[in-house]
Amino acid sequence: MSKRKKKMTLKQMRSLVVFLVAINIILLLCILVMGFFLAKAQITKGKGQTVMLQKANDTYTVCVDAGHGGSDVGAVGLDGSYEKDDNLRLAQEVAKALKKSGVNVIMTRSDDSDTQLGSRSKIANKAKADIFVSLHRNSTANPNTTKGIEIWIHSSGSERSYAAADDILSNLEEVGITANRGVRIGTQGDSDDDYAVIRDTDMTSMIVEMGFMTNQDDLDYFNENLENYAKAISNGVVQWLNDYVQ
């Protein structure tokens, strides 16, 4: 009887050890999972912060330009999507974020309409906007290797233009991008020339190329982060307004 009792006791001890090890593993996994979600929540919280205007008594105007539109579809994505639609979706979200920051916003188009290049500049000039931000998507013949976000500014490369572009790029990087292709001056063909919407506007102007529609990674990043990208662009613009516009 005593021998049998001893065997049962050893079996119970083994079971207890296995049980305690299992509990410790489960607790460790719970701690790791909680840590992951807490870190993710902190990142999301940071992305969700809105930069506000420091000078509440001043009225700043930002002209948001959704590139292409109507019969001009722009680039075509790997998934068959049109650049004109992505530009408009992003522009609407950027305008919404800017208004929350206390900025007066005008848009060159708010629907899928044909808007001539000359009209876009005239809209910004007539409103005496402080900054003109034209939103676009990119495309390339090398979809596997070319990706990322770039910003084009006037060929003069003024400090104000560089600063605005840098503020926007920095905020976009905080959200997450496939690559930072930097601030570029002029046009792809000639650094001494300028794109029409930049050349013909009277204020600090830029074209923000929000990734390549011919690259799957850029397509995924854009669709998954649209609202956060819009808020990042808005925050970059407002930071620049606070620092450079009197």
pTM of the predicted model as reported, rounded to 2 decimal places? 0.80
Q: Which residues, at least 6 apart from 40, have a Cβ–Cβ distance to it below 8 Å?
A: none
pLDDT digits (tens, 9 = 90+) for 74-95: 999 999 999 999 999 999 999 9
Identify the pLDDT of residue 21: 76
pLDDT in tens, 90-118: 999 999 999 999 999 999 999 999 999 99
Res. 228 pLDDT band, cuts 50 70 90: very high
CATH number of 53-244: 3.40.630.40
Confidence category of residue 24, pLDDT binned at 50, 70, 90: confident
Closest CA to 21 of 13, 31, 32: 13
pLDDT at 48: 60
Decide the pairing of beta strands 204-212 and 149-153: antiparallel
At 28, is the secondary structure helix, strand, or coil?
A: helix
Query: How does DSSP classify residue 102?
Result: T
Give the separation between CA 22 and CA 2, rounded to whole angstroms. 30
Q: Measured between alpha carbons, how far is 69 from 92 in angstroms, rounded to an integer? A: 14
pLDDT-derived band at 246, boundaries 50, 70, 90 = low
What pLDDT sits at residue 189? Answer: 94
160-205 pLDDT per residue, tens = 999 999 999 999 999 999 999 999 999 999 999 999 999 999 999 9
* pLDDT tens digits, one per residue of 137-162: 999 988 888 999 999 999 999 999 99
**pLDDT above 50 for 206:** yes
Taking alpha carbons only, the member of 151, 150, 136, 146 closest to residue 75 is: 136
pLDDT given at position 2: 46
Half-sphere exposure of 152 (CA within 13 A, CB side): 23
218 pLDDT above the threshold of 70: yes
Q: For 60, phi and psi rounded to 5 degrees? A: -105, 145
DSSP labels, 116-179: -HHHHHHHHHHTT-SEEEEEEEE--S-TTT---EEEEE-TT--HHHHHHHHHHHHHHHHH--S-
pLDDT at residue 11 in the model: 66
Domain boundaries, the chain: 1-48, 53-244
pLDDT tens track for 25-62: 888 787 766 655 444 433 333 456 888 888 765 689 99
Helix 226-244 / helix 2-48 crossing angle, nearest 10 deg: 50
CA gap 101, 199 in Å, rounded: 28
